[in-house]
Amino acid sequence: MTLVAGVDSSTQSCKVVVRDAETGTLVREGRAAHPDGTEVHPDAWESALDAAVAEAGGLDDVAAVAVGGQQHGMVCLDESGKVVRPALLWNDTRSAGAAGDLIEELGGGEAGRQAWVDAVGLVPVASFTVTKLRWLADNEPDNAGRTAAVCLPHDYLSWKLAGSPGLDALFTDRGDASGTGYWSAATGEYRTDLLVRGLGHEAVVPRVLAPAESGGTTPGGALIGPGTGDNAAAALGLAARPGDVVLSIGTSGVASAVAEVPAADASGAVAGFADATGRFLPLVATLNAARVLDAMARILGVDHAELSRLALSAPAGAGGLALVPYFEGERTPDKPDSTGALHGMRLSTSTPAHLARAAVEGLLCGLADGLDALVAQGARVERVFLVGGGARSEAVRRLAPAVLGRPVLVPPPGEYVADGAARQAAWVLTGAAEAPTWEREGTEAYDAEPTPFVRERYAEARDLTVAQPQV
Ligand SMILES: Nc1ncnc2c1ncn2[C@@H]1O[C@H](COP(=O)(O)OP(=O)(O)O)[C@@H](O)[C@H]1O
Ligand SMILES: O=C(CO)[C@@H](O)[C@H](O)COP(=O)(O)O
């Protein structure tokens, strides 16, 4: 049996799967936690990768490996390949002002937003790498000056797997490059001028590989695939095709659609990313998803199973209680300093069940807004998949079709990002025109009577939040 490995270096943890390259059968797996916080030293990802690989039985017997990872994180390397400072993650909002400055510099307002969309398919918000570079240049000029290369979390780990062989050996893929703000999914080219606009000077950036091209080998001789961003990897793991929308409830809430053409949304809601197959992946991401459920479970002093049971025991709409889930500020809509809020409290709805229901519905309303934004940009929606840690909640699975007003498909609990990376690794081995087909069984369909009044109530509450800058 030929084995391949896939990695998901996500916000909260690192997961590794080892699969049969031909059939996709799971052979071994491992995981390790990442530190909390929105600023993390890449050494921590490397240690977690080592631990997860060890738990998964090592890579000695795998023929190829690929890394999927959280998108956008700013990893700066000096000339010798040393990390300049801890990485700023996708959910670090300190560069919100820098995002505004970058829009201003390309014309400001509508013109500035359109100029960015025309250049790189997205409007800068604090999540995107280019804004983090500008924050670095403005606030830590010495660190910016020492930065000789810039890469993303998955690029860094792929390079480490290859033995960190010099800055020119860095490589990436279309999917993750498209989330930097200095690479265009539409043209397939870097915009060095925009990188310089962020960082203040030129720097080495990873070579963008074709979807099934190898970027190097591990010391044990396994081919290393291009890897990709976690959302493109999830789409690959699900074998998503045009007409499919993937909703992911991880640390981020994501609605993404496989598309044949790049997106260009000057409102900034939809980012015009590329996918890992040569297509495109228009995507809406929020900063608040599974951790909203974590927070409500903590408030109520219950575990996830009980939170789910409580939510399902309350009426649809939670008696008018609406939770706006901007606990971490928000990216879509672009409100980096906003806070969460609970609206419509009555004595009768001040119960754990109503609170639990409001948390699940609030989270789902945020995702439903994301799905609407994709549709407004022309996404075709034939099938909707629900994945990520939050999809393990029965309440989420059962209430999603009611809030979204559409049926959803829930694949069996699994690591779809790591699986997508493993499938990419298998593709690198075959070098065929398409990724290998791996059968997956056990997908469940959920449907429910639509509850549009839940979204109407949420829409009334959505903008009623107070701002509080993050420290
Ligand atoms: N049964 C469950 N119900 C709700 N949330 C869950 C459940 N199991 C795990 N989670 C949450 O899912 C999140 C992890 O999901 P994951 O997709 O791995 O996130 P990430 O990829 O961002 O690290 C955590 O916040 C965790 O608490
Ligand atoms: O910023 C984005 C997408 O644009 C996030 O989706 C990150 O890629 C983090 O993903 P998770 O850790 O939540 O899976």
Q: pLDDT tens digits for 289-313? A: 999 999 999 999 999 999 999 999 9
Taking the CA of residue 331 as reference, the ligand 2 atom at the shortest distance is 1
> In this predicted model, what pLDDT tens digit does every residue of 132-187 receive, in sequence order?
999 999 999 999 999 999 999 999 999 999 999 999 999 999 999 999 999 999 99
3-class SS at 281? strand
Which positions ≥6 away from 139 have C-beta within 8 Å? none
If you measure from the C-alpha of residue 252 to the centroid of ligand 2, how many angstroms do you get, rounded to a whole number?
Answer: 5
The mean of the pLDDT values for the chain is 97
C-alpha span between 137 and 39 (Å, rounded): 17
* Other CB atoms within 10 Å distance of the CB of residue 350: 11
- The catalytically annotated residue of 176, 230, 294, 369 is 230
Give the ligand with the smallest distance to the CA of 234: 2
If you measure from the C-alpha of residue 250 to the centroid of ligand 1, how many angstroms do you get, rounded to a whole number?
Answer: 6
Mutate to test the pocket of ligand 2, among 34, 71, 367 (most ligand atoms within 8 A of CB): 71
Q: Is 231 in the pocket of ligand 2 (CB under 6 A)?
A: yes
Write out residues with Cβ below 6 Å of ligand 1: 10-13, 250-251, 290-291, 293-294, 304, 388-390, 392-393
For 178-235, give the secondary structure using H, E and C: CCCCCEECCCCEECHHHHHHHHCCCCECCEEECCCCCCEECCCCCEECCCEEHHHHHH
Q: pTM higher than 0.90, yes or no?
A: yes
Give the ligand with the smallest distance to the CA of 297: 1
> Nearest residue CA, atom 10 of ligand 2?
70
**What's the CA dihedral at 407, 293, 33, 71 to 10 degrees?**
60
Cβ 172 vs Cβ 232: under 8 Å: no
C-alpha span between 159 and 161 (Å, rounded): 5
> In this predicted model, what pLDDT tens digit does every residue of 3-23 receive, in sequence order?
999 999 999 999 999 999 999
C-alpha span between 363 and 292 (Å, rounded): 7
Cβ 125 vs Cβ 334: under 8 Å: yes
| pLDDT-derived band at 470, boundaries 50, 70, 90 | confident
Q: Which residue's entry shows tokens 């560069």?
A: 95
Average pLDDT over residues 429-441: 95
Distances (CA, A) of 221 to 62, 66, 452: 9, 13, 55
Question: Is 230 a residue of the active site?
Answer: yes
Distances (CA, A) of 263 to 52, 103, 167, 213: 36, 19, 31, 25
Distances (CA, A) of 268 to 129, 203, 271, 279: 15, 27, 7, 20
> Nearest residue CA, atom 9 of ligand 1?
389
pLDDT for 469 equals: 85
Average pLDDT over residues 347-359: 98
Which stretch of DSSP H or E encloses residue 366?
helix 352-376
pLDDT at residue 471 is higher than 80: no
| pLDDT-derived band at 212, boundaries 50, 70, 90 | very high
Q: Is 377 annotated as a binding residue?
A: no
* Other CB atoms within 10 Å distance of the CB of residue 129: 29
Cβ 470 vs Cβ 93: under 8 Å: yes
Q: Is 228 in the pocket of ligand 2 (CB under 6 A)?
A: no
pLDDT at residue 198 is higher than 90: yes
Average pLDDT over residues 200-206: 98
Q: Which residues pair with 249 in a beta bridge?
A: 253
> In this predicted model, what pLDDT tens digit does every residue of 94-118 receive, in sequence order?
999 999 999 999 999 999 999 999 9
> Nearest residue CA, atom 2 of ligand 2?
71
Q: Which residue's entry shows tokens 């000789």?
A: 148
**272 burial class (0-12, 13-18, 19+ CB within 10 angstroms)?**
buried
Helices and strands in the chain, H and E counts? 15, 24
Q: Which residue's entry shows tokens 């990695």?
A: 7
| pLDDT-derived band at 214, boundaries 50, 70, 90 | very high
Average pLDDT over residues 51-75: 98
3-class SS at 66? strand
Average pLDDT over residues 275-280: 98
Which amino acid appears at position 2 of this protein?
T
Q: Is 70 annotated as a binding residue?
A: no
